[in-house]
Amino acid sequence: MPLAENDTVSTLGDEGQRVWLYPLRVMGRFVRARTAVSIVLVAALLAAPWIEVLGHPAMYFDIEHRRFYFWGLTLFATDASYLLFLFGAFIFGVFFFTAVFGRVWCGWLCPQTVFLESVIRPIEELIEGPPSRRKRLDAEPWSARKLFRKGLKLTAFLVVAGAISTTFTAYFLGAHGVIEAQADPGSHPIGFAAFVALTGVLMFDFAWFREQTCIVACPYGRFQSVLMDGDSLTIGYDVGRGEPRGKPKDGLGGDCVDCRKCVQVCPTGIDIRKGIQMECVNCAACIDACDGIMDKIGRPRGLIRYASLNSLAGSPLRLVRPRVIAYGLALVAVTVGFGAAVTLREPIEVQVNRMVNAPYVTLPDGRIQNMLTLRVSNKTALVRHFVVQTLEPSDGEVTSPVRDLAVGAGQVASFPLLLIRPDPGAARSRFSLQVSDDHGYRHRLETVFLAHGAAAPADEGTRP
């Protein structure tokens, strides 16, 4: 029996209209595992800006102070190179996992799938009932009952969309900032506008656009075929075993009983028996649906299963291939590079800069004073108290009007420093400082001491 042709997108009607899907919810080992993964992901995504790890929000892009907090790791603007490693790890991660596992991201990890399948559809089913009842409700004329159910559903969606947008905005404004923005939009106009816009986009997605995001809007769905080959793992139908399909009473030989359960559960409305299709998000619902049927008719599970195109055609499964090794090595290299860079990075960074337009002053007792600023980045999780001492020259003195040079965990602070020494008799001379803290940190800084006749170059700072 020939397979049907893949002639059109399943959600596109003959007249070009949208075909609304009513996917049946199925339970099975993959859906259960995916639900568990979704619970962890939703909890982590929604909790990250509200909980603290080592004294800071678990996830917070502090744009104002140019800092990024990521589950206990604090990255500063000067750590931008680490972001390159992270970006590299993301890119090679996508390459590697797509080459091996196909669209595992789409089915298991993508927020669109996670929220739509694990939050939105269950809410819809709770309020409007199973697909057959939902279909009837949509077809019937408007009534108080229909209005109530639709209103209740949209209100529930709005609560979910609002919670996600609030959390997303909190990633950039912080927990206090987002509460402030919602109480008084004028205090954070851009943040509030982002919150409203995102809530609107999510409502559009949850209430209407749904699987169209994966089918027509998502770029990853488009280019993933470039990253996959015939040996990449995907979800496929075993034509050799399933065909010719038919009801058992037909007496035909294939295992597929043509119950269409795999089509009914598909969130993108496709028939996986027609072959691998771009609309398939690898959610594995059709595997669970078909396994349930195979259990009932006493046939082995796996008529629809995770397999490669080549293995479905009879070749052995070959997950390790040259491209997988190349992507894997690149992924390991950037991940190790990131780990090493973070582990080996200086936990404390100090720098002194000369105050603008203040090369030196002559004190009443004839000594010369230079005014500088000490800038300290504390990338550790502890409050540090710093002390600055003179190493050279022996007649040099360093002091600060600030008594306690304390810098909080993950903070950057600047303190005024006064370098004083008797007139050295030269316009410029060397001045060495030692910066230390109460946790054993010690660092030598070299700067230039300016005296009579000297003018500070605009860019003068210090050499460590």
The residues binding ligand SF4 (CB under 6 A) are 235, 237, 242, 256-262, 265-268, 270, 272-273, 280-286, 289-290, 293, 303-304
Minimum CB–partner distance for residue 268 and ligand SF4 (Å) = 5
Q: Residue 260 CB, nearest distance to ligand SF4 (Å)?
A: 5
- Kindly state the smallest distance separating residue 102's Cβ from ligand SF4, in Å: 10
Cite the beta strand spans of 55-148 per DSSP E: 56-57, 59-62, 67-70, 73-76
Nearer of residues 202 and 262 to ligand SF4, judged by Cβ:
262
Residue 322 Cα to chain centre, angstroms: 29
How many C-beta atoms surround the C-beta of residue 337 within 10 A? 16
57's CB contacts (< 8 A; 6+ apart) are 48, 49, 50, 51, 69, 170, 174, 175
User: In the 8-state DSSP scheme, what is residue 142?
Assistant: P
Distance CA 208, CA 315 (A): 42
Q: Which is nearer to ligand SF4, 276 or 456 (CB)?
A: 276
251 dihedral zone (left: phi>0; alpha: psi -120 to 50; beta): left
Specify whether the CB–CB gap between 105 and 94 falls below 8 A: yes
- Of residues 210 and 261, the one with the C-beta less far from ligand SF4: 261
CB of 54 to ligand SF4, least distance (A): 40
- Residue 283 vs 368, nearer CB to ligand SF4: 283
C-beta closer to ligand SF4: residue 266 or 420: 266
- Residue closer to ligand SF4, measured from CB, 72 or 244: 244
**Amino acid code (one letter) for 42:** V
C-beta pairs of 453-458 under 8 Å, 24+ apart in sequence: 453/427, 454/359, 454/360, 454/427, 454/428, 455/359, 456/354, 456/358, 456/359
Q: What's the min distance (Å) between Cβ of 67 and ligand SF4?
A: 40
Q: Which is nearer to ligand SF4, 108 or 172 (CB)?
A: 108
Instruction: Supply the minimum distance, in Å, between the C-beta of residue 129 and ligand SF4.
Output: 21
Closer to ligand SF4 by Cβ: residue 104 or 374: 104
Number of neighbouring beta carbons within 10 Å of residue 347: 14
State the minimum distance, in angstroms, from the CB of residue 274 to ligand SF4: 10
DSSP 296: H
Least Cβ distance, residue 324 to ligand SF4 (angstroms): 22
Number of Cβ within 10 Å of residue 155's Cβ equals 10
